[in-house]
Amino acid sequence: MMKEPVYVGIDLGGTTFTIGLVRSNGQLVASGTYETFIERGHEDIINRMAQETIRLWEREGYTRSDILEVGVGSPGPLNLKTGVVVTTPNLKWVNVPLRDMMAERLQLPVTIDNDAVSATFGEFWVGAGTPYNDVIGITLGTGVGGGIILGGRIHHGAHDIAGHVGHMIVQLGGRKCGCGNLGCLETYASATGIVATALEALQTGRSSPLHSVQRLTSKKVYEAALQGDNLALEIFDRTGYYLAAGINSLLNVINPEAVILMGAVANAGDILLNPVRQYLKKMCFPRIFEETAVLRGTLGDEAGVIGAAGFAKFR
C-alpha cells in the first residue's frame, strides 16, 4: 500500500529543534525533538537537522520520493529571496545559507521563514486562526516574536522583518533589550521579562512565597499566582498591561480579525489573558475591541513544525 506523501516541517530554536512529518491537511504524523548544541556551529546543526530528518522519515516507513517539500522555521532576521539567515543572536549565526545547505543535504526543495511566522501560520492553517483571513500571532517565550497574515497570506514587509512585534517600544527609557534598545515589549511580556518584573517587585520587601524560591522562573511566578499570591497576580497584571499596550498598537495599525497568543507564557491562560483583555478594553476604540478576537493558540508545541510544513506547501 502506497503511503500518502508528506511535508517536513522543522522548528529550529536555540535550545532544541523539532522535526515533524505533516500531511497535506495539516495533520502531524510523527515528530522528534533534538538538542541544538549551538556551540558546535551552524555546519554541525544543519548536518544533524538533515540527518535526523532522514532518520525520521525512514523510521516511519517513508522514502525521499514520499516527501513533497521541506519548510524550516528559523530565528532571524532572514533574507527570504536568498534563503539566508542574516543574523540571529540565539544561534550566533551570521549570513548562513540555511535554505541551500538543507536542500543540498536532503536533495529536496526547502523553504525557510521566521520561527514565529511558522507558529502563526500553523495556528492560521489548522489551529485557533482557521476562521480568519487577517491574523497576528504573538509568541511569548524566552523572547517575544510574531507573525502577520493578511488576506490569507504571510506579510513579510519590504525587508522580510514584518512581525518582529517584540521590539515595539512600550516603555520609554525602559529595560535594556537584547536588540540594544530600551523598553521593548520583549523585556516585559516574555518569560525573561516576567522574571525581571518579579525580581523588581521582591526588592520592595512585599511578602510573597516567591522570596523562598531559589531559582526564579516565570513558571514559578505562575504557580504562585495560581495559589492566589497577590504579588504574583500583580506581576501578571503588569505583564498583561504591557502586552495589551503592544497589541493595541498592532490593532490600530493593522486591524486584524484575531490576535493569537502562543508559547510557554501564553500557557498561563486566563491569569494573563484576563488582564490583557481588561487593559485592551480601556485602550482600544470600542469597535476594535468588540470585533477583534484575542485567543490562545490550540496547537501548543506542534504549531511551529506544522506551520513550517504549511508554508512549504503554500509558498
Q: Tens-digit pLDDT profile for the chain (315 aa)?
A: 668 999 999 999 988 999 999 999 999 999 999 999 999 999 999 999 999 999 999 999 999 999 999 999 999 899 999 999 999 877 889 999 999 999 999 999 999 999 999 999 999 999 999 999 999 999 999 899 999 999 999 999 999 999 999 999 999 999 999 889 999 999 999 999 999 999 999 999 889 999 999 999 999 999 999 999 999 999 999 999 999 999 999 999 999 999 999 999 999 999 999 999 999 999 999 999 999 999 999 999 999 999 999 999 998
In this prediction, residue 1 carries a pLDDT of 60
Q: Which residues contact 140 (CB under 8 A, 6 or more apart)?
A: 189, 190, 191, 243, 261, 262, 263, 264, 265, 266
3-state class (DSSP) for residue 274? helix
Contact (Cβ atoms closer than 8 angstroms) between residue 143 and residue 75:
no
Coil vs helix vs strand at 173? coil
Q: What's domain 6-115+302-314's superfamily in CATH?
A: ATPase, nucleotide binding domain (3.30.420.40)
Tell which residue, 66, 45, 44, 64, has the closest CA to residue 54: 64
6-115+302-314 and 128-297 agree in CATH topology: yes
State residue 78's pLDDT score. Answer: 95
Q: How far is CA 110 from the centre of its chain?
A: 20
The reported pLDDT for the residue numbered 284 is: 96
What Cα–Cα distance (Å) separates residue 262 from each residue in 134, 159, 271, 272?
17, 24, 14, 12
Query: How far is residue 243's CA from residue 227's CA, in Å, rounded to a whole number?
Result: 23
Q: What is the pLDDT of residue 88?
A: 87
Burial of 105 (0-12, 13-18, 19+ CB in 10 A): middle
**3-class DSSP state of 138:** strand
* Ranges of each domain in the chain: 6-115+302-314, 128-297
Query: What confidence score (pLDDT) does residue 276 get?
Result: 98
Q: How far is CA 185 from CA 62, 165, 188, 307, 308, in A?
A: 43, 8, 5, 24, 25
Class of domain 128-297: alpha beta
Neighbour-count burial for 69-80, b at 16+ CB within 10 Å, e otherwise: bbbbbbbbebbb
Q: Tell whether pTM > 0.75.
A: yes
The pLDDT assigned to 52 comes to 98
Peptide linkage before 77 cis (omega within 30 of 0): yes
62 SS3 class: coil
Residue reference for cell 546543526: 45
